[in-house]
Amino acid sequence: MQMIAIGGAIGTGLFVASGGTIANAGPGGALAAYVVIGIMVLLLMQSLGEMAAHLPVAGSFQTYATRFVSPSFGFAMGWNYWFNWAITVAAELVAAGLIMSFWLPDVPGWIWAAVFLILLTGLNALSARAYGEGEFWLAAIKVAAVILFLVAGILMIVGVFGGHSPGTSNWTTGDAPFNGGFLSIISVFMIAGFSFQGTEMIGVAAGEAENPRRDVPKALRSVFWRIMLFYIGAIAVIGFLIPYTDPNLLRNNESDIAFSPFTLVFERAGIAFAASLMNAVILTAILSAGNSGLYASTRMLLSLALEGKAPRIFARVNKRGIPMPALLATACVGLAGFITAIVGQGAGYTWLVNISGLSGFIVWVGIAVCHYRFRRAYVAQGYDLKDLPYRAPLFPLGPIIAFVLCIIVILGQNYEAVFKGQLVEVLTSYIGLPVFLLVWLGHKVITRSRTVPLMEADVQSLSPSQAPETATRD
């Protein structure tokens, strides 16, 4: 459970995009942004942990939204999350093809995408344990790479190896430590938020955990501090060793990994094979994200089917408890998304990715709302908070602060395009928000669902309609 949460949050956002955050906001600005977003994620994971430990269901926040807010809100949350990760699988397939071209440039990227899609689908088709084991080892490689980076970076900062130490000069030159002021820090909020996305998978995995009442709280208590150590430590090391004015920091993208800040630091430490090493690590990160995305979206589709919000066929599971129809449907969406990336110059794919881009933040907003309603309903119905296996310590302030910060991140997604009146860029950046609202309101109008009163909210039962074990078996 701990490695699933850590692995979900450590990916290309840390290995690649971290350099761009320092270039845009300076080392101090980037550090401040990651601390603020990290605290927001801590509050959200505490909220999710309280609900997931008490009610470990495969649908997680989709089920919570249905029970504690309204069926329409749960419908929109579920399909939003499923689409987000189904399209993310396609994005990871595109990225995997780009990374493989570093070693084998003559092999078309679509071949590698097909190989990795078959590999990830097969791993998820074996069992939930196979997914967990696979994710454990993929995450372990990423964690080892970050630890190696931190150790090497600290030794370089103190001058043990890698030549002359820059000391604190990179924090005092030019506009450092804060480059671009407050607005630059706000822009880094977006990147930091995307970097942390995936930590909420611990809520989905809780539905199939052996002992969620024990494992979820245990994982939550330790995973935040480890993630913060990795992110804050990495940003600090990069800030000390590489000036924010270094042009290589602005050239970060998944197809130009030679300029990952991790690669730059390793090269300056005298590790000649740094580029190949980081390419291998980032390929691992990509496969890990694809593996997790396929698992989470499949379970969300299963949950939607169990609650009558998706075709009933997706409620079927095989003898090993794997929802094969939901898995294959999600894999097909990932494949279709990848095809749109290589046909028609990728215009359709760009729109799909932009629609899903805000989905993670919308889910986080939903988690904060669900927890606020859950706790109020739990107390209103006379239950004792001492009976909860895990209790978020900062309620009600925690979910309220997380909600406000998430809204700031969503609205600031592309504030520059809004101020400049660039309609097309505004539309492509924010398209996910009106799509979510249309699905929510459309379901509400059609079904005439209402907000669930606090006294009627189901805060206790793992009823047959929610429990994964009751799915139709082949």
| C-alpha–C-alpha distance, residues 55 and 71, integer Å | 17
| C-alpha–C-alpha distance, residues 162 and 216, integer Å | 41
Cβ contact 171:177 at 8 Å: yes
Cβ contact 237:44 at 8 Å: no
Low-confidence winner among 121-135, 157-171, 275-289 (lowest mean pLDDT): 157-171
Residue 462 lies in a domain: no
Residues 358-387: tens digit of each pLDDT: 888 899 999 999 999 999 999 999 999 999
Residue 294 lies in a domain: yes
Q: Which residues contact 287 (CB under 8 A, 6 or more apart)?
A: 92, 96, 116, 119, 120, 138
Q: What is the pTM of this model?
A: 0.84
Q: For residue 228, what are its two tokens?
A: 């913060």
Range of the domain at 397: 2-447
The mean pLDDT of the chain is 81
| C-alpha–C-alpha distance, residues 154 and 265, integer Å | 11
Supply the pLDDT for residue 468: 39
| C-alpha–C-alpha distance, residues 117 and 234, integer Å | 31
Residue 472 lies in a domain: no
Q: pLDDT band for 463, please (50, 70, 90 cuts).
A: low
CATH number at residue 185: 1.20.1740.10
Segment 153-172 shows an average pLDDT of: 80
Residue 72 lies in a domain: yes
* Phi, psi for 464 (deg, rounded to 5): -55, -30
Residue 456 lies in a domain: no
Q: For residue 357, what are its two tokens?
A: 């881009």
Residue 452 lies in a domain: no
Supply the pLDDT for residue 92: 78
Cβ contact 311:85 at 8 Å: no
Supply the pLDDT for residue 382: 92
SS3 assignment, position 316:
strand
Segment 310-338 shows an average pLDDT of: 87
Kindly tell me if the per-residue pLDDT of 240 is higher than 70.
Answer: yes
| C-alpha–C-alpha distance, residues 11 and 166, integer Å | 28
Supply the pLDDT for residue 251: 55
Residue 465 lies in a domain: no
3-state DSSP percent of the chain in helix, strand and coil, to 5: 75, 0, 25
Q: pLDDT band for 457, please (50, 70, 90 cuts).
A: very high
Higher pLDDT, 462 or 374: 374
Residue 351 lies in a domain: yes
Higher pLDDT, 416 or 72: 72
Number of structural domains (the chain) is 1
Supply the pLDDT for residue 152: 85
Helices 2-9 + 212-241 axis angle, to 10:
30
| C-alpha–C-alpha distance, residues 25 and 250, integer Å | 12
